[in-house]
């Protein structure tokens, strides 16, 4: 596997098309997520954001097109969720990432448990590592949450943090966040944005999907604007102000 | 004082504490109302003799309910596996072959259940209800509706091993009950399989996203329940040295009651083996207790209902989710007071 920094793009999508029957969900999608780049993926409901994410994370294959991960072409025939994990791509969904009633340490390792030969979980070791991830990777020191806390005690933002920390621990090179800040209070939004900064600091890449423009603007290096299955603009942050971006988006909303 | 508070904090964390409390209270009540019976050892020996099949079923069912599923077919497996055991023993005279085949019959029923639930997608309560009728019906057909005696099995080692009297007193099946409880506690709380069950019961979608093979795990779970039910069936048959077609049908509702009294959540994602252990002993001791107390056998069911309602309410009040329960509140307060004592950090 390539080491960090030895590749140009974390992910590159080339001429991706996806048809559901005769309906085109995605048409001619071309974009890349650079090494250690945070990309904001913006678009209204039905623009094709989640379809695009499902293709990247291996939930289903595209009808046409090619995917490159760390500059290497991915054979799409046997590309699936497990394969995506192996290649270091992990998605964090707001409501589908953590088991509500379970201890946090269990949530870190579910599906990838550390076990002895008989399949019994090494609880102490898992707890230790979970605690470490929480304290050192995502900065949960001093908020009164330990590896033994239940998920239900966590706020919405903290949950995202746990899922992000988990992805980082399992060496995800590209972390995809799907609407991480919708339905969160302002304070919680800031927490999530800080987690995203941690992703960036650690040298990883991130796709940040949201329709809340100020959030996207604050942490992204680049914006990709999706509308009705097509990319209508790719803009670098240095080329645009938040106001211009908002006006641009409004124009598309009115055009409908 | 600090140590006392720490002690309380530790105590509150203990699994199944509520139900252990209910159990002790009930025993004290029985000792008070029927001192002659409940201060002797005999009544307890008779519990240790009669409760284990119910107990083992409840322990297995705890895993199924934790996964957010239900199994209503175990009562039929009790009859079917008992029949297989008796038939093989009477035909070939080999108790161990009979034992293995009886457990295999549990595997078969469990596999079909699991396949219907996980692969076909029939809600488990429907699939296993159908299975209950089917396997009970098949048992009646195959046995000709008769009860079969196997008193020749008494001298065999298998009889001593499973239902003998240790030291001429303690029924061996009670030890097997404890063994199954310990084993299943480790499976549920310490094994990958148990963790997968917890997550499937909690949120199947999350389990899937995190790479748990939900279908395979569910099939395994029902097979597991099938084996456990068959084992309970063999214990019951050996204890009675008799098979009859309706054996097990009287265990269906008490078993489910035992699991719920123990505090396992029907919503899935949380299950307590210790709770089910004491739940089973509560359900199993109610009849004798009620009769011995002199209020008459007709009251048994009514009292069972009351105890179940009380235990379940108690569990809900104490363990309300999202930390609004009394227990959580207590924990928080203790934590805070310790924190303040230390002068903060």
A33-57 pLDDT, tens digit per residue, is 988 899 999 988 778 888 898 889 8
Residue A2 has pLDDT above 70, yes or no: no
Residue A247 to chain B, least CA–CA distance (Å)? 37
CB A76 within 8 A of CB A83: no
Please state the rounded mean pLDDT for residues B276-302.
Answer: 87
Under the banding of pLDDT at 50, 70 and 90, the label for residue B345 is very low
Is residue B214 included in any domain, yes or no? yes
- Amino acid B87: pLDDT: 94
CA of A98: which chain B residue's CA is closest? Answer: B206
| Chain B interface test: which of A80, A90, A102, A154 (most B C-beta within 10 Å) | A102
Contact between B192 and A115 using a beta-carbon 8 Å cutoff? yes
pLDDT top residue among B305 and B176: B176
Is residue B82 included in any domain, yes or no? yes
Q: Which two tokens stand for residue B291?
A: 């009769």
| CATH number of the domain residue B290 falls in | 1.10.3470
Residue B196 to chain A, least CA–CA distance (Å)? 7
Q: List CB contacts (< 8 A) between A106 and chain B.
A: 195, 198-199
Under the banding of pLDDT at 50, 70 and 90, the label for residue B168 is confident
Q: Domain of A202?
A: 9-95+172-255
Residue A162 has pLDDT above 60, yes or no: yes
Q: Domain of B198?
A: 22-334
Is residue B157 included in any domain, yes or no? yes
Residue B34 has pLDDT above 90, yes or no: no
Please state the rounded mean pLDDT for residues A217-246.
Answer: 88
Residue A153 to chain B, least CA–CA distance (Å)? 6
Residue B132 has pLDDT above 90, yes or no: yes
Q: Are strands A174-178 and A89-93 parallel, antiparallel or unpaired?
A: parallel
Element (H, E) at B170: strand B170-171
Task: Check CB contact of B111 with chain A, cutoff 8 Å.
Answer: no
Please state the rounded mean pLDDT for residues B148-177.
Answer: 92
Residue A5 has pLDDT above 60, yes or no: no
Contact between A111 and B190 using a beta-carbon 8 Å cutoff? no
How many domains does chain B divide into?
A: 1
Phi-psi map region of B126: left, alpha, beta (phi>0 left; psi -120 to 50 alpha): alpha
CA–CA distance from B123 to each of B58, B71, B280 (Å)? 20, 10, 26
CA of B345: which chain A residue's CA is closest? Answer: A142
Contact between B192 and A121 using a beta-carbon 8 Å cutoff? yes
Across the interface, which of A82, A97, A102 has its CB nearest the CB of B211?
Answer: A82
- Amino acid A254: pLDDT: 64
Contact between B205 and A82 using a beta-carbon 8 Å cutoff? no
Listed in order, strand segments (DSSP E) in chain A are 9-20, 23-34, 38-43, 64-69, 72-73, 89-93, 174-178, 205-209, 222-227, 230-236
- Amino acid B301: pLDDT: 83
CB A231 within 8 A of CB A15: no
Angle at A53 between CA A49 and CA A56, to 5 degrees: 145
Please state the rounded mean pLDDT for residues B257-275.
Answer: 92
- pLDDT by residue (tens digit) across B45-91? 999 999 999 999 999 999 999 999 999 999 999 999 999 999 999 99
- pLDDT by residue (tens digit) across A70-119? 888 888 888 887 788 888 898 888 777 899 899 999 999 988 889 999 98
| Chain B interface test: which of A115, A120, A153, A176 (most B C-beta within 10 Å) | A120
- Dihedral sign for Cα A95, A101, A103, A107, please: negative
Angle at A108 between CA A106 and CA A110, to 5 degrees: 60
- Amino acid A178: pLDDT: 87
Is residue B7 included in any domain, yes or no? no
Please state the rounded mean pLDDT for residues B208-216.
Answer: 87
| CATH number of the domain residue A190 falls in | 3.40.50.300
What global pTM score does this model have? 0.85
Task: Check CB contact of B183 with chain A, cutoff 8 Å.
Answer: no
Please state the rounded mean pLDDT for residues A167-182.
Answer: 86
**Highest mean pLDDT (candidates A186-190, B12-16, B252-256):** B252-256
Is residue A215 included in any domain, yes or no? yes
Residue A191 has pLDDT above 60, yes or no: yes
Is residue A134 included in any domain, yes or no? no
CA–CA distance from A254 to each of A248, A250, A251, B9, B104 (Å)? 10, 6, 5, 59, 67
| Chain A interface test: which of B65, B184, B210 (most A C-beta within 10 Å) | B210
- pLDDT by residue (tens digit) across A24-34? 889 989 988 98
CB A249 within 8 A of CB A243: no
CA–CA distance from A249 to each of A88, A172, A211, A231, B343 (Å)? 32, 31, 10, 13, 53
Is residue B328 included in any domain, yes or no? yes
Please state the rounded mean pLDDT for residues B224-233.
Answer: 97
**Highest mean pLDDT (candidates A2-11, B12-21, B193-202):** B193-202
Is residue A107 included in any domain, yes or no? no
pLDDT top residue among B196 and B312: B196
Contact between A153 and B199 using a beta-carbon 8 Å cutoff? no
Q: For the ranges A203-217, B10-24, B177-191, which has the lowest average pLDDT? A: B10-24
- d(CA B3, CA B42) in angstroms, rounded, equals 40
Across the interface, which of A97, A99, A110 has its CB nearest the CB of B269?
Answer: A99
Please state the rounded mean pLDDT for residues A206-234.
Answer: 89
Percentage of chain A modeled with pLDDT above 70:
96
**Highest mean pLDDT (candidates B72-86, B244-258, B307-321):** B72-86
Please state the rounded mean pLDDT for residues A190-198.
Answer: 87
Element (H, E) at A103: none
- Amino acid A60: pLDDT: 85
How many domains does chain A divide into?
A: 1
CB B12 within 8 A of CB B331: yes
Under the banding of pLDDT at 50, 70 and 90, the label for residue B108 is very high
């Amino acid at each position: 596997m390539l080491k960090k920094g030895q590749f140009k793009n974390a992910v590159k999508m080339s001429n991706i098309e996806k048809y559901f029957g005769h309906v085109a969900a995605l048409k001619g999608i071309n974009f890349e997520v650079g090494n250690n780049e945070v990309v904001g993926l913006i678009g209204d409901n039905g623009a094709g954001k989640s379809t695009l994410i499902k293709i990247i994370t291996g939930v289903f294959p595209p009808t046409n097109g090619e995917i490159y991960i760390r500059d290497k072409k991915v054979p799409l025939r046997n590309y699936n969720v497990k394969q995506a994990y192996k290649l270091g791509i992990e998605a964090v969904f707001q409501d589908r990432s953590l088991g509500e009633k379970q201890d946090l340490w269990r949530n870190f390792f579910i599906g990838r448990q550390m076990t002895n030969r008989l399949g019994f979980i090494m609880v102490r070791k898992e707890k230790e590592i979970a605690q470490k991830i929480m304290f050192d990777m995502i900065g949960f020191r001093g908020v009164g949450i330990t590896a033994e806390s239940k998920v239900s005690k966590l706020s919405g933002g903290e949950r995202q943090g746990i899922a992000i920390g988990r992805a980082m621990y399992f060496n995800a090179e590209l972390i995809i966040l799907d609407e991480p800040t919708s339905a969160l209070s302002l304070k919680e939004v800031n927490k999530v944005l800080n987690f995203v900064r941690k992703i960036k600091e650690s040298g990883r890449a991130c796709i940040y999907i949201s329709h809340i423009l100020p959030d996207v603007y604050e942490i992204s290096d680049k914006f990709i604007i999706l509308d009705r299955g097509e990319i209508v603009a790719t803009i670098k942050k240095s080329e645009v102000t938040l106001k211009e971006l908002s006006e641009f988006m409004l124009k598309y909303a009115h055009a409908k | 004082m600090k140590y006392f508070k720490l002690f309380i904090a530790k105590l509150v964390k203990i699994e199944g504490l509520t139900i252990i409390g209910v159990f002790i209270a009930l025993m004290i009540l029985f000792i008070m109302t029927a001192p002659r019976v409940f201060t002797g050892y005999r009544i307890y020996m008779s519990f240790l003799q009669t409760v284990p099949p119910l107990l083992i079923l409840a322990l297995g069912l705890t895993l199924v309910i934790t996964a957010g599923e239900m199994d209503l077919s175990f009562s039929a497996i009790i009859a079917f596996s008992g029949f297989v055991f008796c038939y093989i023993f009477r035909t070939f005279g080999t108790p161990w072959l009979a034992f293995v085949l009886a457990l295999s019959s549990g595997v078969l029923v469990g596999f079909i259940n699991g396949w219907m639930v996980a692969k076909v997608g029939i809600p488990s309560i429907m699939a296993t209800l159908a299975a209950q009728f089917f396997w009970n019906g098949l048992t009646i057909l195959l046995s000709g509706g008769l009860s079969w005696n196997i008193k020749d099995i008494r001298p065999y080692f298998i009889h001593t091993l499973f239902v003998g009297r240790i030291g001429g007193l303690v029924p061996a099946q009670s030890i097997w009950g404890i063994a199954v409880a310990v084993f299943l506690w480790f499976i549920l709380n310490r094994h990958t399989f148990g963790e997968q069950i917890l997550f499937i019961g909690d949120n199947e979608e999350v389990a899937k996203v995190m790479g748990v093979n939900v279908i395979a795990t569910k099939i395994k779970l029902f097979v597991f329940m099938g084996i456990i039910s068959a084992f309970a069936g063999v214990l019951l048959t050996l204890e009675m040295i008799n098979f009859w077609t309706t054996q097990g049908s009287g265990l269906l509702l008490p078993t489910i009651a035992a699991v719920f009294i123990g505090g396992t959540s029907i919503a899935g994602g949380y299950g307590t083996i210790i709770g089910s252990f004491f739940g089973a002993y509560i359900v199993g001791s109610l009849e004798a207790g009620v009769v011995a107390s002199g209020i008459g056998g007709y009251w048994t069911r009514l009292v069972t209902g009351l105890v179940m309602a009380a235990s379940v309410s108690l569990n809900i009040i104490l363990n309300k989710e999202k930390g609004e329960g009394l227990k959580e509140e207590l924990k928080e307060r203790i934590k805070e007071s310790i924190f303040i004592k230390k002068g903060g950090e």
